[in-house]
A and B are shown apart, each in its own frame.
Chain A
Amino acid sequence: AQKVTQAQTEISVVEKEDVTLDCVYETRDTTYYLFWYKQPPSGELVFLIRRNSFDEQNEISGRYSWNFQKSTSSFNFTITASQVVDSAVYFCAPVSGGYNKLIFGAGTRLAVHP
């Protein structure tokens, strides 16, 4: 059975700190996709990134970076120099094989304080 774990329920940081959100996806599938979504206090879900299981290159987009390690099934998300606007719940959501059924983790609530 597939299982996605976001072990950090809540994280609180002060503005400008770097913060890493962890995600572990346990699966027997050899090919899969992983997504990160952001849900700010307003409630909408915002797509952040999609990665393929065969691509372990780190990706950087502005203050966001993603580190995917297939050997440990981890797909971590780092925000550099956090800002108050980064305060949100962040969801890791893998999907496996030919299925488009996202499996959402429970989410990590990030609070960035001024």
Chain B
Amino acid sequence: IAGITQAPTSQILAAGRRMTLRCTQDMRHNAMYWYRQDLGLGLRLIHYSNTAGTTGKGEVPDGYSVSRANTDDFPLTLASAVPSQTSVYFCASSATDRDEQYFGPGTRLTVT
């Protein structure tokens, strides 16, 4: 069982380019999340989805979009990347919205 996989592991991206970070879980969890972690800081929630077909905004949603077409996948899209979006991005999932969240290995994104 893989748990949560994220792709790519790392990416260097030119400013203005579009990028989709992929996240897949095989635990049949209802809820999924995207966080960003900046150097020396805790994680901040970008977007979340409590169940397939629904999404919600977190603390720092601007510049990002998500979709939840099915239970397993929760891609995060940067429509036009900016240097301030340089960060490590973590995807997470939980069985329900009140359960502990399990995290993927992260994607390190550098926007130049």
- Give me the interface of A with B, judged by CB distance under 8 Å: 33, 35, 37, 43-45, 47, 50, 91, 93, 95, 98-102, 104-107
Is A45 in contact with B42, judged by CB distance below 8 angstroms? no
Q: Which of B7-66 contact A (CB under 8 A)?
A: 31, 33, 35, 40-45, 48, 50, 58-59
* A50-B105 CB under 8 A given contacts A100-B48, A106-B41, A106-B42: no
Cβ–Cβ < 8 Å partners of A95 in chain B:
98
Q: How far is the CA of A102 from the CA of B92 in the complex (A)?
A: 11
Q: How far is the CA of A95 from the CA of B103 in the complex (A)?
A: 16
12 new A-B contacts, CB < 8 A, other than A91-B42, A107-B41, are: A44-B103, A44-B106, A91-B43, A100-B94, A100-B97, A100-B101, A101-B45, A101-B48, A101-B59, A104-B42, A105-B42, A106-B42
Is A45 in contact with B103, judged by CB distance below 8 angstroms? yes
Q: How far is the CA of A44 from the CA of B90 in the complex (A)?
A: 9
Cβ–Cβ < 8 Å partners of A104 in chain B:
35, 42-44
Is B100 in contact with A99, judged by CB distance below 8 angstroms? no
Is A43 in contact with B42, judged by CB distance below 8 angstroms? no
Q: How far is the CB of A54 from chain B (nearest CB, A)?
A: 13
Q: How far is the CA of A9 from the CA of B48 in the complex (A)?
A: 28
Cβ–Cβ < 8 Å partners of A99 in chain B:
97
Q: How far is the CA of A100 from the CA of B99 in the complex (A)?
A: 8
Is A102 in contact with B31, judged by CB distance below 8 angstroms? no
Q: How far is the CB of B28 from chain A (nearest CB, A)?
A: 17
Q: How far is the CA of A87 from the CA of B102 in the complex (A)?
A: 20
Q: How far is the CA of A104 from the CA of B59 in the complex (A)?
A: 11
Is A47 in contact with B102, judged by CB distance below 8 angstroms? yes
21 interchain pairs, CB-CB under 8 A: A33-B98, A37-B103, A43-B88, A44-B105, A44-B106, A45-B43, A45-B92, A47-B101, A47-B102, A47-B103, A91-B42, A91-B43, A93-B42, A98-B97, A100-B48, A100-B94, A100-B101, A102-B45, A104-B35, A104-B42, A105-B42
